[in-house]
């Protein structure tokens, strides 16, 4: 039996050597220039695939030094009632904080669009945008890792460390180009062009789009087509005009390809996301309920509502709070994160929640975005107080 096994091993080893030899012979016949391209392409692909893992370990190690008080998990019977009534599994509580860095990319797009209204793209603070994203990852990770099990953190952390490197690379490339060649051509051209106007419109449309829809669904190819169909090919400041056409076309085209890949990966991994949020309020429900809110179930103590998700959630919960509703749980959870726009350095009232992240609004000097986490039971009270405060409600993070 041993001899048979040895014979099989020698036979297999011989076949492996033969195949390696044939591959090496074919590789030697490939031109030196083509081999270099293959090596470069393989290296770039490996770096792309390894970047989420590398960023996770680097950030996880650095963020251990962040002094953020851990979140105190809340418990309430209303959450169990929501889980029994809801027709799908409810989202985990840790996601309310871990979605903030994702939303920062939305805010960055909005701030970039606002910035372009009065400034050329070469003056945008690209490095500060990258730093703000990773600061938000650091602090939300530090605030959740001691409270919630890895099963609640896993999907959120994977998402942050996939989109983080891609956002960083995109911002670095955009910043490097706009602050060098883009700035030079703008200086030589001396004026805005039709292409600059289209780029500003696309940036504003993109910022609004992201509030309701994942970024990879954005019609980048339509934006690319506008550069060649709506803007003239010749005219004043022709150097700036053609520089914008080429640079923006390459950018939109690359984003369209990457978006297609991410759309396929996301739908294959997670499926299509449910665009609703389940909320439990104290019975009885208010006499007036917004039309976008649906009553799902009632009991002696609770009323379960189905609310819209993403940006549409904010006006719905504000309207319910104004009608006197008392929230008990959202998605079966009893803690929720919300952000406010406040004057620089202004402290959030302690009753509004525990501060987790504070970031500058890059398009509005003197304004900061502050993320807090608070019990869901205090949400309506805080929303009503914010109506009479200089601190503006920015968003409520629905897991």
pLDDT of 74 reads 65
Rounded to an integer, the average pLDDT of 307-323 is: 91
pLDDT of 338 reads 95
Position 212 confidence tier, pLDDT thresholds 50, 70, 90: confident
The sign one gets for the Cα dihedral 103, 106, 110, 116 is: positive
- The single residue listed with the structure tokens 């409270």 is 147
Q: How many residues does the chain have?
A: 399
Q: Which two tokens stand for residue 351?
A: 């009753």
Three-class secondary structure of residue 300 per DSSP = coil
CA distance 347 to 343: 9
- DSSP string computed for 12-56: HHHHHHHHHHHHHHHHHHS-HHHHHHHHHHHHHHHHHHHHHHHHH
CA distance 356 to 341: 14
pLDDT in tens, 228-269: 988 888 877 777 788 888 888 988 888 888 888 778 877 776
Three-class secondary structure of residue 292 per DSSP = coil
Question: Which residue would you say has higher pLDDT here, 115 or 24?
Answer: 115
pLDDT of 78 reads 77
Q: What is the largest CA-CA distance in the chain?
A: 87
Position 154 pLDDT exceeds 70: yes
pLDDT of 219 reads 92
Rounded to an integer, the average pLDDT of 306-316 is: 90
The sign one gets for the Cα dihedral 28, 32, 37, 41 is: positive
pLDDT of 37 reads 62
Taking the model in full, what pTM does it have? 0.79
Question: Which residue would you say has higher pLDDT here, 14 or 359?
Answer: 359
For a pLDDT cut of 90, what percent of the chain falls above it?
27
pLDDT in tens, 383-396: 999 988 889 999 99
CA distance 303 to 78: 9
- DSSP string computed for 328-384: EEETTBSEEEEEEEEETTPPPPGGG-EEEEEEE-TTSTTEEEEEEEEEGGGHHHHHH
Q: In angstroms, how far is the first alpha carbon of the chain from the final one?
A: 60
Rounded to an integer, the average pLDDT of 276-300 is: 87
To the nearest 10 degrees (0 to 180), the angle between helices 313-322 and 379-386 is 90
CA distance 189 to 282: 62
Position 205 pLDDT exceeds 60: yes
Position 341 pLDDT exceeds 90: yes
Contact 227, 248 (CB under 8 A): yes
Rg (CA), the chain: 26
Question: Which residue would you say has higher pLDDT here, 366 or 283?
Answer: 366
For a pLDDT cut of 70, what percent of the chain falls above it?
80
pLDDT of 380 reads 92
Contact 210, 105 (CB under 8 A): yes
Question: Of 16-25, 186-195, 242-251, 311-320, where does mean pLDDT reach its minimum?
Answer: 16-25
Q: Where are the domains of the chain?
A: 90-270, 276-397
CA distance 338 to 139: 15
Classify domain 90-270 by CATH number. 1.20.120
H-assigned helices in 66-180: 77-85, 95-98, 100-116, 126-144, 150-177
CA-nearest of 275, 68, 273, 270 to 155 is 270
Rounded to an integer, the average pLDDT of 107-120 is: 87
Three-class secondary structure of residue 223 per DSSP = helix
pLDDT of 344 reads 93
Position 124 confidence tier, pLDDT thresholds 50, 70, 90: very high
């Amino acid at each position: 039996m041993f001899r048979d096994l040895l014979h099989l091993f020698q036979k297999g080893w011989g076949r492996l050597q033969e195949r390696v030899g044939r591959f090496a012979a074919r590789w030697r016949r490939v031109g030196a220039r083509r081999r270099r391209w293959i090596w470069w392409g393989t290296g770039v692909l490996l770096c792309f695939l390894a970047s989420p893992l590398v960023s996770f370990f680097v950030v996880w190690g650095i963020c251990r030094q962040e002094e953020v008080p851990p979140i105190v998990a809340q418990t309430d019977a209303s959450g169990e009632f929501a889980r029994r009534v809801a027709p799908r599994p409810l989202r985990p509580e840790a996601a309310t904080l871990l979605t903030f860095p994702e939303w920062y990319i939305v805010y960055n797009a909005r701030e970039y669009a606002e910035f372009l209204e009065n400034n050329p793209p070469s003056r945008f603070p690209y490095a500060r945008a990258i730093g703000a994203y990773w600061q938000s990852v650091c602090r939300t990770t530090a605030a959740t890792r001691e409270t919630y099990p890895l099963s609640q953190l896993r999907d959120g952390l994977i998402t942050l460390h996939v989109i983080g490197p891609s956002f960083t690379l995109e911002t670095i490339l955009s910043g490097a180009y706009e602050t060098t060649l883009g700035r030079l051509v703008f200086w030589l051209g001396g004026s805005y062009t039709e292409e600059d106007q289209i780029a500003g419109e696309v940036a504003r449309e993109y910022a609004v789009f992201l509030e309701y829809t994942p970024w990879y669904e954005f019609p980048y190819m339509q934006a690319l087509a506008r550069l060649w169909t709506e803007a003239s090919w010749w005219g004043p400041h022709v150097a700036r005009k053609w520089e914008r056409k080429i640079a923006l076309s390459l950018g939109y085209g690359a984003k369209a390809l990457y978006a297609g890949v991410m759309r396929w990966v996301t739908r294959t991994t997670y499926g299509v996301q449910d665009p609703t949020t389940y909320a439990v309020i104290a019975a009885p429900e208010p006499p007036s309920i917004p039309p976008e809110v649906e009553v799902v179930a009632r009991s002696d103590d609770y009323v379960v509502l189905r609310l819209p998700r993403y940006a549409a959630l904010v006006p719905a919960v504000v309207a319910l709070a104004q009608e006197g509703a008392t929230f008990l749980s959202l998605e079966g959870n009893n803690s929720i994160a919300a952000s406010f726009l406040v004057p620089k350095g202004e402290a959030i009232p302690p009753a509004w929640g525990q501060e987790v992240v504070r970031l500058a609004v890059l398009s509005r000097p003197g304004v900061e975005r502050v993320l807090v986490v608070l019990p869901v039971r205090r949400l309506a009270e805080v929303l009503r107080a914010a109506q009479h405060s200089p601190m503006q409600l920015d968003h409520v993070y629905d897991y």
